C-alpha cells in the first residue's frame, strides 16, 4: 500500500511547493478564513500549515490518509463541476508516504485528534485540543525517496515556487488571510477582506497595485473580470500573469498569449505584464487535462474566449488613450 502511495506521490508531490499547494487547497476546501504557513529551509526542513477550517472528525482522520478513500469523483471531466479544489483523495496519503506528518485537527464539537504518520506508517493517534481547525506539520520530506531529494533545485528556487503558489491562491481567495513565514521571516500577510486589488498590493507592493486597471467583459459563454498592468509594468517572465477559471488557478498557454496579444506593440518582445484574470464559465466547457496536478486545462470555445480577452485589454488602452 505504501508503494502505491509513493508512486502516486511521485506524480503529485514533485517538490516542497507541491505539498504546500495540496495542504492549502485542503484548508480552503475546509472553508478556512485564516491560514498560517510556516516554512523552514524552503520546505525541506518544515512545512507547517495551520487553518481555522472545518476540521476532521476523529473517526475520519485515518480515512483521510487512505488513498482514494475520499475521492469525490470518478471522472476527471467532472473536476470543474465540483466546488472543492481537492477531488482525488490522493494528497494526504501521498505526503504521508514520503515524509513525517503530524496532524492535529478538531471540528470544534468534541475533543480533537492528533495523529503521527511517517513513511505511511501510523506511529501514534491520540486525543488533542478541541480548537476548531487543522494543523499539519510535514518534516523530513522525501526521506525515503532519495532520488526526489537529489532532484530538488536550490533553496532559493524551491522557496520561489512556494511563494508563487501562496501568491496565486491568495489572489484566488481574497477573503482569506494568508500568512506566510519563511525561516521566521514574514513573506506575506493578506488582509482577507475580499479586495483583490489589496491582495495585489500586498504581494507586489502598492506602487504596482496602483498601476493595475480593472477589465471586465462578457459574451454568451464567458464572463471575464480582473486587473491588468499598464505597459510600463513589465517583467521578464510570465509568472506575474495569473488566470483563474471559476475561481480555480489554471495554466493555459492560449489565454496567456491572448493577454500578451492585448498589449500588442506596447509590450517589448520577451516582456510580460502583470495580470490577474478570472473567467467565469459553464464548467462543461472546461476540459481537464490528464495531469494529476490538474492545472493544465483545455477549453471548448477557446477561440472566442481568447478573442474576448485580447479585446478587453485592447479596450482598456483605447479608453486610457495610451
**Contact set with Mg ion (CB under 5 A):** 26, 86, 91
CA gap 218, 112 in Å, rounded: 47
DSSP 251: B
> Which residue, 180 or 305, has its beta carbon nearer to ligand ADP?
180
Residues 6+ apart with CB under 8 A from 112: 55, 58, 104, 105, 106, 127, 128, 129, 130, 131
* Site stretch for ligand ADP (CB under 6 A), options 50-58, 112-120, 180-188, 296-304: 50-58
Q: Show the site string, 254-293: x = touches ligand ADP by CB under 6 A, - = not.
A: ----------------------------------------
* CB-based closest residue to ligand ADP: 86
* Site stretch for ligand ADP (CB under 6 A), options 80-88, 177-185, 264-272, 291-299: 80-88
Residue 30 interacts with, from Mg ion, ligand ADP, none (CB under 5-8 Å by kind): ligand ADP
Residue 281 interacts with, from ligand ADP, Mg ion, none (CB under 5-8 Å by kind): none
Size of the site for ligand ADP (CB under 6 A): 19
> Which residue, 68 or 153, has its beta carbon nearer to ligand ADP?
68
Q: Which of 86, 174, 226, 273 binds ligand ADP (CB under 6 A)?
A: 86
Whether the Cβ atoms of residue 178 and residue 191 lie closer than 8 Å to each other? no
Q: Which of 9, 39, 79, 92 binds ligand ADP (CB under 6 A)?
A: 92
Q: Which of 90, 141, 252, 294 binds ligand ADP (CB under 6 A)?
A: 90
CA gap 118, 144 in Å, rounded: 10
CA gap 109, 147 in Å, rounded: 43
Contact flag: residue 252 with ligand ADP (CB under 6 A):
no
303: Cα separation from own chain's centroid: 26
DSSP 119: T
* Site stretch for ligand ADP (CB under 6 A), options 24-32, 172-180, 231-239, 260-268: 24-32
Give backbone dihedrals phi and psi of 264, rounded to 5 degrees, phi first: 55, -135
Percent composition of the chain: helix, strand, coil (DSSP 3-state, to 5):
40, 30, 30
To the nearest 10°, report the CA torsion of 27, 29, 30, 35.
Answer: 30
Residues 6+ apart with CB under 8 A from 209: 197, 198, 200, 201
Exposure pattern of 61-98 as b/e (b: 16+ CB <10 Å)?
beebbebeebeeeeebeebbeeeebbbbbbbbbbbbbb
> Which residue, 283 or 292, has its beta carbon nearer to ligand ADP?
292
* Site stretch for ligand ADP (CB under 6 A), options 1-9, 23-31, 169-177, 256-264: 23-31
Binding site for ligand ADP (CB under 6 A): 22, 26-27, 30, 51, 53-56, 64, 70, 86-92, 134
Amino acid at each position: 500500500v505504501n508503494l502505491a502511495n509513493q508512486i502516486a506521490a511521485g506524480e503529485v508531490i514533485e517538490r516542497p511547493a507541491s505539498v504546500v499547494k495540496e495542504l492549502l487547497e485542503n484548508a480552503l476546501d475546509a472553508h478556512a478564513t485564516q491560514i498560517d504557513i510556516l516554512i523552514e529551509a524552503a520546505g525541506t526542513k518544515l512545512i507547517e500549515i495551520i487553518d481555522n477550517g472545518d476540521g476532521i472528525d476523529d473517526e475520519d482522520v485515518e480515512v483521510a490518509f487512505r488513498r482514494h478513500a475520499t475521492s469525490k469523483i470518478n471522472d476527471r471531466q467532472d473536476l470543474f463541476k465540483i466546488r472543492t479544489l481537492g477531488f482525488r483523495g490522493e494528497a494526504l496519503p501521498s505526503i504521508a508516504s514520503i515524509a513525517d506528518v503530524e496532524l492535529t485537527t478538531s471540528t470544534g464539537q468534541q475533543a480533537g485528534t492528533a495523529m503521527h504518520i511517517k513513511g505511511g506508517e501510523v506511529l501514534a493517534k491520540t486525543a488533542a485540543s478541541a480548537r476548531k481547525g487543522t494543523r499539519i506539520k510535514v518534516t523530513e520530506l522525501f526521506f525515503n525517496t532519495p532520488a526526489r531529494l537529489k532532484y530538488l533545485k536550490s533553496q532559493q528556487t524551491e522557496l520561489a515556487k512556494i511563494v508563487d503558489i501562496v501568491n496565486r491562491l491568495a489572489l484566488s481567495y481574497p477573503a482569506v488571510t494568508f500568512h506566510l513565514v519563511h525561516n521566521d521571516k514574514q513573506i506575506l500577510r493578506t488582509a482577507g477582506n475580499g479586495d483583490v486589488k489589496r491582495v495585489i498590493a500586498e504581494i507586489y507592493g502598492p506602487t504596482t497595485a496602483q498601476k493595475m486597471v480593472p477589465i471586465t467583459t462578457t459574451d454568451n459563454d464567458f464572463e471575464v473580470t480582473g486587473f491588468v498592468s499598464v505597459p510600463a509594468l513589465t517583467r521578464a517572465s510570465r509568472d506575474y500573469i495569473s488566470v483563474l477559471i471559476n475561481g480555480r488557478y489554471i495554466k493555459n498557454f492560449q489565454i496567456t498569449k491572448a493577454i500578451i496579444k492585448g498589449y500588442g506593440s506596447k509590450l517589448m518582445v520577451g516582456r510580460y505584464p502583470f495580470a490577474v484574470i478570472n473567467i467565469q464559465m459553464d464548467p462543461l466547457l472546461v476540459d481537464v487535462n490528464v495531469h494529476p496536478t490538474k492545472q493544465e486545462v483545455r477549453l471548448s470555445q477557446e477561440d472566442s474566449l481568447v478573442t474576448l480577452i485580447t479585446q478587453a485589454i485592447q479596450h482598456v488602452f483605447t479608453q486610457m488613450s495610451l
